[in-house]
Amino acid sequence: MPATVSQGDEGVLLGLAPPWLRANCQCGQCLDPVSGQRLAEPGTQAADVSVTEVSATSAALRVTFGPDGHEAVFSRSWLADQAVPGQDARNEDAKQLWLAADLPDGPGYMQWQRYLAEPQYRAHCLAKLLSTGFLVLRGVPCEPAAVLTVAGSMGYVRETNYGRLFDVQAKATPANLADTGRAIAPHTDNPYRDPAPTVQLLHCLASAVAGGESGLLDGFRAAGLLRAADPAAFRTLASTAATFRYADAGAELTATKPVIGLDPQGRIREIRFNSRSMQPLRPARGARPAQAAAAAVQFYAAYRTFAGIVLRPELMLSLRLEPGDCMVFDNTRIMHARSSFTKAGHRHLQGCYADLDGVESALAVLRRPRAQVPA
């Protein structure tokens, strides 16, 4: 460092490599001041970039780069903020993991009219959705397509082969087990898509006379229990690509992904769990018959162990959706289930899909004034 840099200033820059500083220059030639998007192309910058001079004020550091002499000004507050380790907002470390016993008051219903009227309350609700993985809004009008209004308040509807809007009710000729009165075990939706919809909404228009209770389960917590009890099984489900498939008269969808998806740091980031659409495990390319057989034995043993954890009663939060209730949940994390019901046509839910990036964006916009979120 040159003599113009004090010991404190050197500490600010310590660990910030010259290529990092040059790539993140904040000047008007390198960063558009309106959009905040980069103007400078990294391929045009020198490979041997260096810092040749630094001058300091109480608020900022002015850096001169070699070999081109380009100057950049970095505020001390901005540099300090960049020094904070980043965190993947989608992985298990950013979430409030739970068992049913951790939620003694049930799902904690939130009020739709207040959600609409009060931005701070809406931010509180969206933060809850991102943290615990689910949200139940009470008092949504029992009108067809009202669920689309809910989805639009927190992002954008993801249209699929089921349309922008789909109905869940017992049908005479069901194309999907969801359209029967049968019980449905815990699962995530659409694992046969890549990417799968990351948010699901289900709005109750009519409830069954008996049965049809909904269940929610924290898949990240379940996977964490597997990791603690059987690390080898956890590694198998995180490293083996399983294939999921759905086909009907108008669609044929296939995706191949691990049951437990990890981020680059090995933290749980995604669950794909749906026995109804899982296909037979295929041998790895180049595997010999004996190797393929051993891998299949290992995979199905791990899958069975995880499935056993998922069925533990203490993991399941049970609730009965009443007309006007809208359940919103993270489809990459929360497994949902349903008990059986016998009165065909009485239980009627309307649903749609959306995505977490829309929820995260809506919350970030609501937080821009830094209003205090209610406890």
Give residue 305's pLDDT: 98
The answer to whether residue 296 is domain-embedded is yes
> Are residues 222 and 186 located together in one domain of the fold?
yes
Give residue 364's pLDDT: 96
> Are residues 210 and 323 located together in one domain of the fold?
yes
Sign, Cα dihedral of 26, 31, 35, 37:
negative
Per-residue pLDDT tens over the stretch 196-237: 999 999 999 998 767 779 999 999 999 999 999 999 999 999
**Distance in angstroms (rounded) separating the CA atoms of residues 176 and 174:** 5
Strands 134-138 and 110-111: parallel
> Are residues 182 and 246 located together in one domain of the fold?
yes
| CATH code where residue 178 lies | 3.60.130.10
| CATH code where residue 41 lies | 3.30.2020.30
Mean pLDDT of the chain: 91
* Edge-to-edge strands, sheet with 214-218: 184-187, 334-338, 214-218, 316-319
Q: Do residues 205 and 142 lie in contact, with contact meaning Cβ atoms separated by under 8 Å?
A: yes
What is the per-residue burial (b if ≥16 Cβ within 10 Å, else e) of 188-205? Answer: bbbbbbeebbbbbbbbbb
Per-residue pLDDT tens over the stretch 66-110: 999 999 999 999 998 888 888 899 999 999 999 999 999 999 999
**Distance in angstroms (rounded) separating the CA atoms of residues 246 and 337:** 19
> Are residues 77 and 96 located together in one domain of the fold?
no
User: pLDDT grade, residue 5 (50/70/90)?
Assistant: very low
Give residue 11's pLDDT: 45
Give residue 1's pLDDT: 39
The answer to whether residue 283 is domain-embedded is yes
Residue 286 DSSP one-character state: T
The answer to whether residue 375 is domain-embedded is no
Give residue 172's pLDDT: 47
The answer to whether residue 217 is domain-embedded is yes
Checking if the pLDDT of 357 tops 60, the result is yes
Q: Which of 34-38, 129-133, 141-145 has the lowest mean pLDDT?
A: 34-38
Per-residue pLDDT tens over the stretch 248-272: 999 999 999 999 999 999 999 999 9
C-alpha distances out from residue 151 to 203, 212, 330, 362, Å: 11, 23, 13, 11
> Are residues 223 and 296 located together in one domain of the fold?
yes
- Domain holding 153, by residue range, is 92-366
